[in-house]
């Protein structure tokens, strides 16, 4: 596919990454001056352990970044993952060890709070390492920036001077958004106490904007006059966000829907400082099983490790890609469907016209290079039913069934299928097997099962799933079930111990005719 054909189709595509990327074409119709890269940014607050909500923002931003490259024929871009690690620690997270250690350092910059895990120089360094591990694991192309480093090195000194010079303008944006009580003490700049090392929420007086000098009352009441530069102060967060956009020249940053007002205020402040706020959009938040917003301090969401124990990386990316402006639940029970949906869309990709390919999530997940094979011979759901059965709850045994069903496969030739089998074993062992409870069939169900057993006995051992499915279907129609759904549910509940299950023809072909007949015999014995 030539670049111009792809670009023309992408310019018309309604897929949300292209819609977002086209905003950048309008922002810089002729490209950035001097051929500078388009700068994408994601922000991260390292006051708690990273979770999928954090990871999600980097992934979605990467989708837009890749879309921009396709629209421009691979124009240069950069992605910054920025850690607000100079923020003061406001509270102790619920999901860390040794909380008493952290409580002694409340208010201090996160890079000066000891690491409760005992593995890094500070709590922020530990959580930053976790974030980078997450991003590296997915192969993201990014640059990591630390707020502490930017402040301490002087990289933000000039924008701090701009805040001091435009103090009244910044206050004019912020004060109308605050309660009366908060207005009395609000300051766009937060000095670091020379005595305690804490980030102070106190009124600040601008002494000399060009020199960067400020004055304030320290915690003991003494008046302090010191520089605001070189890491001796940090900006209040909405001002900080705007200042970062200006100092770094950020062109694109998305944010959660809960930050809509903050984006507006920070955008106004960026203009006061002589800059231009970035493009972006507000996505909806992930919710836990109870419908509550996922919080890294509460630890009530899935970790990346939890998802990857039961689902593939691509299935997570698929779930994150879809409907970014819709609030979605995020819990363990969603993983099987996400895995199978991903493979369904991947299987559709080769036969689609270009316009549909560009709207297919797998195009964005794989940056336009969708790997082969495009489909697998089994679904995750079918594998779950197989490995939930006694004696099949390990990958090696499962492979014996799979290879009889699909002889052309092997762990070496189909590594993604091999991974999927292992993931299904984990999921079945942890969540499916403990809930299974086969019930005895009713008289009507037993009669249908006896006929099914007799018909299966006539089949060749390698009968295909379609033949078996037709047989199962016809037997159901010959017995007095209220509907065929009732017949299939009876099969699930009496043979598999679950209220829902796979396409029975495919399952019997996979598990084997003789093995399936043994399940029927066990069910009939329970009815006697």
Q: Where are the alpha helices (DSSP H) in 115-222?
A: 123-137, 147-152, 157-165, 167-174, 180-183
Q: Which 3-state string (H, E, C) describes 444-478?
A: HHHHHHHHHHHHHHCCCCCCCHHHHHHHHHHHHHC
State the average pLDDT over residues 22-32: 95
Give me the pLDDT at residue 286, please. 80
Range 3-283 classified under CATH 3.30.390.10 = no
Res 295 pLDDT > 80: no
Local structure of residue 109 (DSSP, 8 states)? B
Residue 300 has pLDDT above 70, yes or no: no
DSSP string, 281-302: -EEPPEE-TTSPBP-TTTT-S-
For the record, the structure tokens of 448 come out as: 């249908």
**Domain map (residue ranges) of the chain:** 3-283, 437-527
d(CA 72, CA 363): 17
Instruction: Give per-residue pLDDT as tens, 154-197.
Output: 999 999 999 999 999 999 999 999 999 999 999 999 999 999 99
Q: In whole angstroms, what is the distance from residue 303 CA to residue 294 CA? A: 11
pLDDT at residue number 298: 58
% of the chain beyond a pLDDT of 70: 98
Residue 443 has pLDDT above 90, yes or no: yes
| Dihedral class, residue 243 (left if φ above 0, else alpha if ψ from -120 to 50, else beta) | alpha
pLDDT tens sequence across 366-396:
999 999 999 999 999 999 999 999 899 999 9
What is the per-residue pLDDT across 450-463, written as a single tens digit (0 to 9) for each? 999 999 999 998 89
Kindly give the pairing relationship between strand 205-208 and strand 213-217: antiparallel
Contacts (Cβ under 8 Å, ≥6 apart) of 167: 188, 206, 209
pLDDT given at position 33:
87
SS3 state of residue 153: coil
Residue 291 backbone zone (phi > 0: left; psi -120 to 50: alpha; other: beta): left
Residue 499 predicted with pLDDT over 90:
no
Give the pLDDT confidence score for residue 138 in this predicted structure: 80
Neighbours of 299 (CB within 10 A): 15
Distance separating alpha carbons of residues 50 and 137, to the nearest angstrom: 14
- What pLDDT does residue 5 have? 92
Q: Is the pLDDT of residue 449 over 70?
A: yes
Q: Is the pLDDT of residue 299 over 60?
A: no
Distance in angstroms (rounded) separating the CA atoms of residues 501 and 342: 19
Pairing of strands 282-283, 213-217: unpaired
Rg, the chain, Cα only:
29
- Residues with Cβ within 8 Å of 287's Cβ and at least 6 positions away in sequence, in order, are 293, 294, 327, 328, 329, 330
**Token digits for 174?**
């912020």
Helix (H) or strand (E) holding 143: strand 143-146
Paired tokens of 377: 């011979």
Distance CA 490, CA 388 (A): 18
Lowest mean pLDDT among 40-44, 51-55, 257-261: 51-55
Reduce the DSSP state of residue 81 to 3 states and report it: strand
**Mean pLDDT confidence for 120-148:** 91
What are the structure tokens assigned to 294, written together? 């996922």
User: What single-letter DSSP state applies at residue 231?
Assistant: T
Average pLDDT, integer, range 114-140: 89
Q: Where are the beta strands (DSSP E) in 209-269?
A: 213-217, 223-227, 233-235, 255-256
> What is the number of residues in the chain?
528
199 within 8 A of 109, measured Cβ to Cβ = yes
Sign of the C-alpha dihedral computed for residues 453, 454, 455 and 459 taken in this order: positive
* Whole-number Å distance between alpha carbons of 463 and 88: 66
Tell me how far apart the alpha carbons of residues 165 and 219 are, in angstroms, rounded to a whole number. 26
User: What is the SS3 assignment for 307?
Assistant: helix
pLDDT for residue 296: 53
CATH topology (fold) of 437-527: Arc Repressor Mutant, subunit A (1.10.10)
């Amino acid at each position: 596919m030539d670049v111009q054909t792809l670009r023309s189709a992408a310019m018309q595509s309604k897929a949300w990454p292209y819609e977002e990327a086209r905003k950048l074409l309008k922002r810089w119709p002729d490209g950035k001056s001097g051929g500078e890269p388009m700068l994408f940014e994601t922000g991260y607050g390292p006051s708690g352990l990273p979770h999928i909500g954090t990871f999600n923002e980097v992934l979605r931003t990467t989708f837009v970044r890749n879309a921009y490259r396709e629209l421009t024929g691979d124009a240069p871009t950069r992605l910054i993952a920025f850690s607000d690690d100079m923020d003061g620690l406001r509270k102790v997270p619920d999901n860390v060890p040794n909380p008493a250690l952290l409580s002694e350092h409340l208010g201090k910059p996160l890079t000066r709070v000891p690491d409760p895990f005992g593995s890094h120089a500070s709590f922020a360094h530990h959580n930053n390492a976790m974030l980078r591990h997450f991003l590296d694991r997915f192969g993201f192309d990014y640059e990591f920036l630390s707020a502490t480093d930017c402040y301490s090195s002087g990289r933000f000194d000039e924008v701090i001077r701009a805040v001091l010079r435009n103090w009244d303008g910044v206050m004019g944006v912020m004060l109308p958004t605050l309660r009366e009580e908060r207005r009395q003490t609000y300051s766009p700049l937060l000095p670091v106490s020379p005595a305690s090392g804490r980030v102070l929420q106190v009124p600040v007086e601008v002494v000399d904007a060009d020199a960067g000098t400020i004055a304030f009352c320290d915690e003991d009441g003494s008046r302090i006059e010191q520089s605001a530069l070189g890491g001796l102060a940090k900006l209040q967060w909405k001002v900080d966000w705007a200042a970062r956009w200006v100092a770094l020249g950020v062109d694109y940053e998305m944010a959660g829907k809960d930050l809509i007002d903050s984006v507006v205020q920070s955008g106004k402040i960026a203009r006061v400082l002589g800059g231009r706020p970035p493009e972006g959009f507000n996505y909806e938040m992930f919710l836990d099983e109870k419908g509550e917003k996922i919080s890294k301090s509460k630890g009530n969401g899935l970790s990346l490790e939890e998802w990857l124990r039961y689902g593939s990386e691509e299935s997570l990316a698929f779930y994150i890609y879809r409907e970014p402006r819709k609030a979605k639940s995020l819990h363990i029970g969603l993983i099987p469907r996400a895995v199978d949906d991903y493979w369904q869309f991947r299987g559709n990709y080769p036969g689609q016209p270009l316009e549909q390919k560009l709207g297919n999530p797998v195009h964005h997940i794989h940056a336009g290079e969708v790997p082969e094979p495009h489909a697998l011979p089994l679904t995750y759901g079918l594998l779950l039913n197989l490995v939930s059965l006694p004696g099949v709850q390990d990958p090696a045994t499962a492979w014996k069934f799979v290879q009889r069903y699909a002889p052309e496969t092997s762990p070496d030739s189909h590594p993604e299928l091999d991974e999927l089998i292992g993931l299904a074993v984990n999921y079945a062992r942890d969540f499916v097997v403990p809930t299974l409870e086969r019930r005895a069939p009713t008289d009507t169900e037993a009669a249908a099962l006896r006929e099914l057993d007799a018909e299966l006995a006539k089949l060749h051992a390698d009968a295909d799933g379609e033949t078996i499915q037709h047989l199962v279907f016809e037997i159901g129609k010959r017995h007095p079930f209220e509907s065929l759904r009732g017949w299939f549910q009876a099969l699930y509940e009496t043979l598999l111990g679950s209220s829902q299950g796979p396409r029975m023809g495919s399952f019997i072909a996979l598990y084997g005719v003789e093995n399936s007949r043994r399940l029927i015999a066990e069910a009939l014995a329970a009815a006697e």
